[in-house]
Amino acid sequence: MSEAEKFYALLEKLSNAFGVSGFEEEIREIVIKELEPYADEVTVDKFGNVIAVKKGSSNAPKVMWAAHMDEIGFLIRAIDDKGFLYIAPVGGWYSVVVAAQRLRIRLDSGEYIYGVVGMKPPHLLSPEEQKQAPKLDKLFVDIGARSRKEAEEMGVRIGLPADLDRELARLAGNRVTGKALDDRAGLAVMLWAFRSVEPRGTLYAVATVQEEVGLKGARVAAYKLNPDVAIALDVTTANDLPGVGPADQVARLGGGPAIKVADGRGMSGLISHPAVFRLLVDVAEKEGIPYQLEVLTGGTTDAAAISLTREGVPAGVISIPARYIHSPVEVIDLEDALNSARLLAKATESMTKEWYESIFK
């Protein structure tokens, strides 16, 4: 089995797992099992983050990796008398990609029931309605129930989480498509690199919760760990698509890891620490790892929250280019992911006491 095939097997487990923000139990158990054989210690904090430790020299900088394990999804917000369900978004959705999808609803028992997202039939839409995107609060979920009572007897209640019923699949070459590659791709990169990395100082690999709803898990984990340096692993938009000009592509699928310069509207998310950014670039060039530079004008990552912890943490981001993020059909290139893991491990191994003191002391 090739390296790409082994990585795909890991990514498949992660992508297919349920893990809506705030309901990460299933994906968390998978992550723990993947980390335990390679870690000196694995714990779960009170907020639900998984923290794996590789102990190194006390003289070298403490490094925190962060990749979020949660995914965008939905909560059941209402059940009508006919048994139709109404949903509230968890994280950022564009309603056009939600209509006509099939959902998994996780019951209190841990079992799933399935439903389809419906809307007013197209042939009943007025000419004006046909020009507009459907409103998320007008969409409904059909689980086959004939009444509210029947829905409740099936185990449905207000507040249950739901995700997309979609499995990872291969496209041409090393390209794959599935749900939740934001950020199961970054999570897979972190787990893959953790297997072999030999950090100079103590390394904390953190699978964070609730990133999609405010970077919450990273915030509390960073406060607890108080790292000297941090690297987040996430996806970024690969807009190398028909109808998009070069200036708006951000990143290109197959172009290698994207080393983040800055992100957020008005660069309000993270401006990467110059020393961390330069180290990532230098390591990529030294190791012959293809890379691209990323300026993202919307959205941010766990690194933004980590960087503002306590007196501040120098932080950077390695991004895996992904097409169609926040949709059921996100697409990445496995070679980009594997090169991201190589860059993550080699950069961490370059974070020596001398490197750190030459910059921060």
Contact status, residue 333 vs residue 175, Cβ threshold 8 Å: yes
Catalytic status, residue 41? no
DSSP assignment of 177-218 equals EES-HHHHHHHHHHHHHHHH---SB-EEEEEES--TTTSHHH
Instruction: Name which of 141, 103, 132, 176 is nearest 330 in CA terms.
Output: 176
- Going by the DSSP 8-state scheme, the letter that residue 271 receives in this structure is B
CA distance 140 to 207: 32
N-term to C-term CA, the chain = 46
Q: Check the CA dihedral 337-343-346-348 and report its sign.
A: negative
Tokens in use for 138? 């007008």
* Candidate list 24, 211, 212, 294, residue with the active-site label: 211
- Going by the DSSP 8-state scheme, the letter that residue 8 receives in this structure is H
Q: Counting every residue, how long is the chain? A: 361
> 17 — phi, psi (to 5°)?
-70, 155
Tokens in use for 332? 């990445």
CA distance 322 to 258: 10
Query: Could you tell me whether strands 41-44 and 50-54 are parallel, antiparallel, or unpaired per DSSP bridges?
Result: antiparallel
Cα–Cα distances (Å) from 273 to 75, 80, 279, in that order, read 37, 51, 10
Residue for token digits 């008398």? 81
Neighbours of 196 (CB within 10 A): 11
Q: Which residues have a Cβ under 8 Å from the Cβ of 128 and sit 6 or more positions away?
A: none
Active-site positions read: 211
